[in-house]
Amino acid sequence: ADGMAAPTMEERKACWGARDEFWQCLDSHGDDAAKCEKLRRAFESRCPQQWVKHFDKRRDFLKYKKKLETEGFHPPEAAGKS
């Protein structure tokens, strides 16, 4: 198939399903990718390469956001002024 072709609805569903399973695995193993290698491969094989890159970035962003929400945001410029 032509790599630029838009995925069909079926393909999108397969991709999202694979991504969700992979992310759930990461969540339950504290982001230990080695434990989720099989799901990672399924995710990569079911999703267009661009999407894999996008979702990886998205996950990093979501993790970062969650970290800020749980630990609170400390702007670096406030350090040492307290």
9-60 pLDDT, tens per residue?
999 999 999 999 999 999 999 999 999 999 999 999 999 999 999 999 999 9
Q: State how far the Cα of 3 lies from the Cα of 1, in Å rounded to an integer.
A: 6
Q: State how far the Cα of 29 lies from the Cα of 26, in Å rounded to an integer.
A: 5
58-69 pLDDT, tens per residue?
999 999 998 899
Instruction: Look at residue 73 and tell me whether its pLDDT is greater than 90.
Output: no
Domain boundaries of the chain, sorted by first residue: 18-59
Per-residue buried b or exposed e for 11-43, using 16+ beta carbons within 10 Å of the residue's own CB: eeebbeebbebbbebbeeeeeeeeebeebbebb
Kindly report the backbone phi and psi dihedral angles of residue 18, in degrees, each rounded to the nearest multiple of 5, phi listed first. -65, -40
